[in-house]
Amino acid sequence: MKGYGNFINGKDDFEGKEYQIRSPIDGSIITTGIMGGPEQTRRAIDVAYDAFPKWEKFTLSSRRKILEKLVEIFEERSEEYAVLESRNTGKTMRQSTFMDVNIAAQHIRYFSQTKVFKEKRKIIHPEFPGSYGIVENVPMGVIGAISPWNVPLLMAIWKIVPAILAGNTVVLKPSHYTPLTTFELARDFTKAGLPDGVLNVVNGEGHVVGKELAQSTKIRGLSFTGSTRTGKEVSRNASGTIKKVVMELGGKSPNIVMGDADIEKAAKGIMFGIFLHSGQLCESGSRLMVHKSVKEKLLSTLSGYMEKMRPGNPMDMETDISAITTEDQKRKIEGMVGKAFSEGARADYRKKVKGSVPEGGYYVDPMIMTGISEDMEISREEVFGPVLAVTEFNSEREALDMANNSEYGLAAGIWSEDYRKALRFAGNLKAGTVWINDYHLISAAAPRGGFKNSGIGRELGAEGIYEFTESRHIFVSDKENDLLEMSFGLVNSGD
C-alpha cells in the first residue's frame, strides 16, 4: 500500500503521525497519510519563502512551459487521477473521468496559454502631459492555500496554477480526508520542471495547519475554500497579520424556473445542479424556485428522471449516485432532513439507495422536498447533500425577491425561453455566477466567487491571476513640463 508523506521542498516528508485514509464508497483503507503539525507547516513556509526570490525571476514564458509539460504528464495519467479521485471522494467514476479530470486538464492548459495576464502596461497621466506611467503586476511572495474535501483535484489546480503563473510560491493544505490527488499533482509538478520549494503541500487539520498558514507573517496572500463558518475563523486567525485573503465560501443557490421554460431541459439541468456529487458542491442548486403554473409538470418530470437514477458502486461507470465523502457530512445531512420533516416538509420523491450500494460506505437518498417555507433551515442553510428544497412563485418580482433573500450569493440558475428576460433577471441577482438554461459549467476564463457571505475575491480568469499580485506604479518624467515646474515651485520659489 502506497503511503503519502507531506510534500516539502520537492520531497515526501514522512515526519509526523501516520493515519489511515479510507474510501467513503465502502469504508476500505486506500492508503496512509501523515498529519502535518505546526513544525512541518512552518518548515514548508520557510522553504517557500526562500524559494521565492529565485522563482519570481523566472520569465512568464518559462512558467508557462512548465505548465505545458504538466498538461502532458497529467493527461498521460488521467485514468489514474480519475480512479484515485473517485475512491477518495466517493464521486462516481463518470463524474471524475468526464468532468473533474477532463476539466482539470483543460484548466491547466488554459493558464499555460492565456495572454490575459499582463505583467506591465503603460498609462498616461492626464494631469502631467510631460510624463507617463508604467504599472507593473508583480508577485506577492508566499501564498497560503486551503482547499476543501469535496473537489480536491480541481480546487488544488485553481489555487496553485494561477498563483505560480504570477510568480508566487505556494504552501497548500488539502483536506486530510481527500489529499491524494493533490499529492500526486505536486509530484507531477516536480516532474514537469517546477523548482523545489515553489510548491509545498502540508496535510492536516484546519485548526492546526490552516491556522498556522493564516497567522504566518511570511505568507502574503491566503486562498481559502470551505464553509462560511470556517471562513470566518480563517479571517480571525489572519487578522493579526497584513495579508490579502480570498475566500470562496458556502452557498444556497437558487435554480429558478420561469413559466415559459423548456420543462424537459430544465428538469435535466436541475437534476445535474443538485445531484452531481450528491449535492456536495458549494454552488449546487439546492433551492428550486418554480413558477406556480409549471410546478406540477416540473415535479412530475423530475420524479420520472429520478426513478431512472442508478444507485450502485460509484467505481462502476454505470452508477449515477455518489457517496457522501465523510461520515460527519452524512450525519449532518440526515439531521437537517429530519428537522425539515419535523417542521412540516414532505418528500415529494425519494430515491432509495439502501441495498443497492456497497456496505460500509456513506450514502444518502436523493430527495425532492416540498412544503417548504422560507424560514425553514432547509431553505436557508447549506445542506451540502442531495436534497432539493422546492418553493413556488407567482411573478418575476416575487422570484427575484425570494432568490436574493439569502445571506449567500454564490450562484444561481435561470430557465426561460425568453433570453432578454433571463438576462435582465440575471443582472439583478446577487450572485457571483449565473447560468441561463444551464448549470454547474465552469470556464477557466471566467472569474468565480461569491457575493455576501459566499466569499470575497475571485478565482479563475484574469481576475484569479491578478488577485495574487501587487501593483507597482513607476512615474516617468521624460519631458520638460510647466506643470511639473510649477509643482516643484511650491517648495522652491526662489528662481
Q: Which amino acid is at 231?
A: G
> Mean of the per-residue pLDDT values for the chain?
96
Catalytically annotated residue among 85, 212, 282, 283: 282
- Angle between helix 396-404 and 419-426 (nearest 10): 30
373 C-beta neighbours (distance < 10 Å), count = 12
Cell 481576475 belongs to 463
446 C-beta neighbours (distance < 10 Å), count = 15
3-class DSSP state for residue 190? helix
The Cα-based distances of 43 to 164, 184, 215, 345 in angstroms read 19, 21, 14, 51
Is residue 88 a contact partner of residue 178, using CB atoms and an 8 Å limit?
yes
Cell 510534500 belongs to 7
Cell, residue 276: 452531481
What pLDDT, on the 0 to 100 scale, is given for residue 495? 59
Q: Does domain 3-249+454-474 have CATH number 3.40.605.10?
A: yes
**How many CA atoms lie within 13 Å of 86's alpha carbon, on the beta-carbon side?**
25
Position 1 confidence tier, pLDDT thresholds 50, 70, 90: low
Mean pLDDT computed over 236-259: 97
Residue 2 predicted with pLDDT over 90: no
Beta bridge partner(s), residue 393 = 291
Report pLDDT digits (tens) over 155-170: 999 999 999 999 999 9
Position 79 confidence tier, pLDDT thresholds 50, 70, 90: very high
Has 248 been annotated as catalytic?
yes
Report pLDDT digits (tens) over 383-435: 999 999 999 999 999 999 999 999 999 999 999 999 999 999 999 999 999 99
3-class DSSP state for residue 465? helix
Catalytically annotated residue among 85, 248, 283, 459: 248
What's the count of helices (H) and strands (E) in the chain, helices before strands?
A: 17, 23
Kindly give the residue spans of alpha helices, DSSP state H, lying in 360-395. 377-380
**Distance from first CA to last CA of the chain, Å, rounded?**
83
What pLDDT, on the 0 to 100 scale, is given for residue 487? 77
* Domain parsing of the chain, residue ranges: 3-249+454-474, 254-436
Which numeric CATH code is attached to 254-436?
3.40.309.10
Report pLDDT digits (tens) over 201-211: 999 999 999 99
Residue 483 predicted with pLDDT over 80: no
Mean pLDDT computed over 4-27: 96
Residue 334 predicted with pLDDT over 80: yes
Q: Model-level pTM?
A: 0.96
Residues 276, 103, 253, CA angle at the centre, nearest 5°? 40
Q: What pairing do the DSSP bridges indicate for beta strands 408-409 and 451-452?
A: antiparallel
Considering the chain, what percentage of its residues have pLDDT values greater than 90? 95
